[in-house]
Amino acid sequence: MNIGEASRRSGLPPKTIRYYEEVGLVRPARAQNGYRDYRDRDVHLLRFLQRSRSLGFSIEEARKLLALYADDNRHSEDVRSMASGRIAEIDRKIAELQSLKRSLVLLAEQCPGNAGPDCPILDEIAGDGTFSPRRGTAV
């Protein structure tokens, strides 16, 4: 099948499929005319990659997962370890986002939200509050 059909079946854009080929994650056969010739197995691997990436695994982690998937002698502890690492990273990002949210909520509560120019949100973003974009000069 051509890349368009592989794209339709896998749910990945052709550009992503070409990238996965470029980095060696998939290796479609080539037809006599030189065009890529995707097989059902390639589409299966593309779906595997799509799902692993949607779970937040990096390209290199997806490569390792593919290798583990292909290894009949794999140890499930290796896969679980990778998942645990991903979970820890997600927890770290959630904590960071919660902290950002708390900061922004506090700033929003301090902003009068009226027709006046004063806004602690902009003051915080500016850092020191010494630049006035309305005048284009330092205050």
Query: What global pTM score does this model have?
Result: 0.73
Number of domains in the chain: 1
Q: Are 53 and 62 in contact (CB under 8 A)?
A: yes
pLDDT tens, 15-43?
A: 999 999 999 999 999 888 888 899 999 99
Question: Domain for residue 123, yes or no?
Answer: no
Could you tell me the residue range of the domain that residue 44 belongs to? 3-109
Within its chain, how far is the Cα of 10 from the centroid?
18
pLDDT tens, 83-102?
A: 999 999 999 999 999 999 99
CATH number of the domain bearing residue 42: 1.10.1660.10
Pick the closest to residue 41 from 1, 73, 85 (CA basis): 1
Amino acid at 13: P
